[in-house]
């Protein structure tokens, strides 16, 4: 019997077997909830390699990293804008980025009106890069083990983290304890109810199997937030950060042998394959179409990823 839905608690049913995002890993089984549409990854992450430190998530800078930097700044500013609308900046505002990666967002927040911003990050790689590149001292810890004092945070960001954890409800309980009553939580996750998820099917770019454990819908995420003491205020579907690329990549993956070939190639994680490369190059002129299609999807509340802004009750 499949597990209960990690978002709303209803019974799930066996759903798909889908290819792993990481080349060379076995296919992955999923179950899905009829009530809220959220899916759950059934197969464990293989324990013989750390999939969050190798392959697509490895340390080496991706190809074209220099070109991507200004774009990443635009994305980070958008995320900060969501925080800003919920909790105005100020010297005393305690903003915590849970799953801070390489510290880019914390550095931006500190320079943009939140000088007391801090971050928690479990990987050594993230903590080291944050120190070297931004002079930032992130706390190296999992969310459960972090030493954020209870009731101390005014705002917490959880950006593309919740889909990675095995117990999303337990994670929200920890963040609830960090926040003061009325404090804001900004959560970003892929949206399984999106148009691009439908287009991509088993090869949807944001399935990222088996690293993504829960495949939320906006509805499922709001149900989970509600069950763990948060009031969802705002659900944002138009996001430039992951959405247009996910739409284009989902289109291209219909024609390549390997799903998300360009992404793997940029991450130095795929062999050169003439056919997949040709299909990918031939699809480059579709980028404006994908951007337009994703914009319409977002306006119809079917964006590829969503951000929910919620308050601690
Ligand atoms: Zn559900």
Kindly give the confidence (pLDDT) of every residue in the chain, 313 residues in length, as a single tens digit, with 9 standing for 90 and above. 899 999 999 999 999 999 998 878 899 999 999 999 999 999 998 865 566 666 666 655 666 667 788 889 889 999 999 999 999 999 999 999 999 999 999 999 999 999 999 999 999 999 999 999 999 999 999 999 999 999 999 999 999 999 999 999 999 999 999 999 999 999 999 999 999 999 999 999 999 999 999 999 999 999 999 999 999 999 999 998 989 999 999 999 888 888 888 888 887 777 788 888 999 999 999 999 999 999 999 999 999 999 999 999 9
Q: Write the pLDDT tens digit of every residue in 123-168.
A: 999 999 999 999 999 999 999 999 999 999 999 999 999 999 999 9
Task: Find the 216 Cα to ligand 1 centroid distance in Å.
Answer: 9
Task: Find the 308 Cα to ligand 1 centroid distance in Å.
Answer: 17
Task: Find the 161 Cα to ligand 1 centroid distance in Å.
Answer: 19
The sign of the torsion formed by the CA atoms of 10, 13, 19, 25 equals positive
Task: Find the 249 Cα to ligand 1 centroid distance in Å.
Answer: 27
Task: Find the 132 Cα to ligand 1 centroid distance in Å.
Answer: 42
Task: Find the 145 Cα to ligand 1 centroid distance in Å.
Answer: 28
Kindly calculate the radius of gyration of the chain based on its CA atoms and give it in whole angstroms.
19
Task: Find the 169 Cα to ligand 1 centroid distance in Å.
Answer: 13
Do 222 and 233 meet the contact criterion of CB atoms below 8 Å apart?
Answer: no
**Nearest-angstrom CA–CA distance, 26 and 19:** 7
Query: Is residue 257 exposed (0-12), middle (13-18) or buried (19+ Cβ within 10 Å)?
Result: exposed
State the Cα angle at 126 between 6 and 85, rounded to 5°: 65
SS (H, E, C) the chain: CCCECCCCCCEEEEEEEECCCCCCCCCEEEEEECCCCCEEECCCCCCCCCCCCCHHHCCCCCCCHHHHHHHHHHHHHHHHHHHHHHCCCCCCCCEEEECCCCCHHHHHHHHCCCCCCEEEECCHHHHHHHHHHHCCCCEECCCCCCCCCCCCEEEEEEECCHHHCCCHHHHHHHHHHHEEEEEEEEEEEECCCCHHHHHHHHHCHHHCCCCCCEECCHHHHHHHHHHCCEEEEEEECCCCCCHHHHHHHHHHCCCCCCCCHHHHHHCCCCCCCHHHHHHHHHCHHHHHHHHHHHHHHHHCCCCCEEEEEEEEC
Task: Find the 13 Cα to ligand 1 centroid distance in Å.
Answer: 11
pLDDT on residue 110: 98
Task: Find the 37 Cα to ligand 1 centroid distance in Å.
Answer: 6
Task: Find the 62 Cα to ligand 1 centroid distance in Å.
Answer: 36
Q: Write the pLDDT tens digit of every residue in 181-193.
A: 999 999 999 999 9
Task: Find the 223 Cα to ligand 1 centroid distance in Å.
Answer: 8
Task: Find the 133 Cα to ligand 1 centroid distance in Å.
Answer: 40
The distance from CA 165 to its chain's CA centroid, rounded to whole angstroms, is: 11
Do 196 and 246 meet the contact criterion of CB atoms below 8 Å apart?
Answer: yes
The tokens describing 288, both together, are 């404006």
pLDDT on residue 8: 98
Task: Find the 225 Cα to ligand 1 centroid distance in Å.
Answer: 12
Domains (ranges, CATH) in the chain?
12-312 (3.40.50.150)
Task: Find the 215 Cα to ligand 1 centroid distance in Å.
Answer: 10
Task: Find the 114 Cα to ligand 1 centroid distance in Å.
Answer: 36
pLDDT on residue 54: 62
**Nearest-angstrom CA–CA distance, 121 and 157:** 12
**Nearest-angstrom CA–CA distance, 114 and 89:** 6
Task: Find the 131 Cα to ligand 1 centroid distance in Å.
Answer: 40
**Nearest-angstrom CA–CA distance, 49 and 261:** 22
Task: Find the 9 Cα to ligand 1 centroid distance in Å.
Answer: 6
Q: Please, which residues have CB within 8 angstroms of residue 69's CB and are 6 or more apart in sequence? A: none
Do 46 and 20 meet the contact criterion of CB atoms below 8 Å apart?
Answer: no
**Nearest-angstrom CA–CA distance, 136 and 185:** 22
Check whether the bond before 92 is cis (ω within 30° of 0): no
pLDDT on residue 234: 97
pLDDT on residue 40: 98
**Nearest-angstrom CA–CA distance, 213 and 5:** 12
């Amino acid at each position: 019997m499949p597990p209960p839905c990690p978002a709303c608690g209803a019974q799930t049913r066996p759903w798909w077997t889908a290819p792993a995002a990481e080349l060379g890993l076995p296919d992955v089984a999923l179950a899905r909830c009829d009530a809220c549409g959220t899916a759950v990854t059934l197969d464990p992450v293989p324990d013989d390699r750390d999939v969050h430190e190798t392959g697509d998530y490895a340390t080496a800078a991706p190809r074209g990293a220099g070109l991507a930097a200004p774009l990443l700044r635009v994305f980070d500013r958008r995320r900060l804008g969501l925080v800003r609308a919920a909790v105005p900046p100020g010297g005393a505002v305690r903003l915590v980025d849970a799953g801070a990666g390489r510290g880019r967002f914390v550095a931006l927040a500190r320079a943009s009106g939140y000088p007391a911003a801090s971050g928690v990050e479990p990987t050594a790689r993230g903590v080291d890069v944050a120190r070297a590149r931004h002079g930032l001292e992130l706390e190296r810890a999992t969310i459960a083990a972090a030493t954020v004092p209870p009731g101390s945070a005014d705002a917490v960001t959880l950006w593309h983290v919740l889909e990675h954890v095995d117990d999303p409800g337990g994670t929200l309980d920890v963040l609830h304890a960090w926040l003061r009553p009325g404090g804001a939580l900004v959560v970003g996750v892929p949206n399984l109810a999106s148009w691009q998820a439908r287009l991509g099917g088993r090869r949807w770019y944001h399935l990222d199997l088996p690293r993504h454990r829960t495949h939320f819908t906006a509805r499922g995420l709001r149900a989970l937030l509600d069950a763990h003491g948060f009031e969802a205020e705002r659900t944002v579907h138009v996001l430039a950060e992951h959405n247009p690329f996910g739409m284009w990549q989902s289109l291209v993956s219909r024609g390549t042998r390997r799903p998300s070939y360009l992404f793997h190639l940029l991450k130095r994680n795929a062999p050169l394959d003439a056919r997949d490369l040709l299909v990918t190059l031939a699809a480059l002129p579709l980028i404006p179409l994908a951007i337009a299609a994703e914009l319409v999807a977002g306006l119809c509340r079917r964006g590829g990823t969503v951000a929910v802004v919620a308050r601690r009750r």
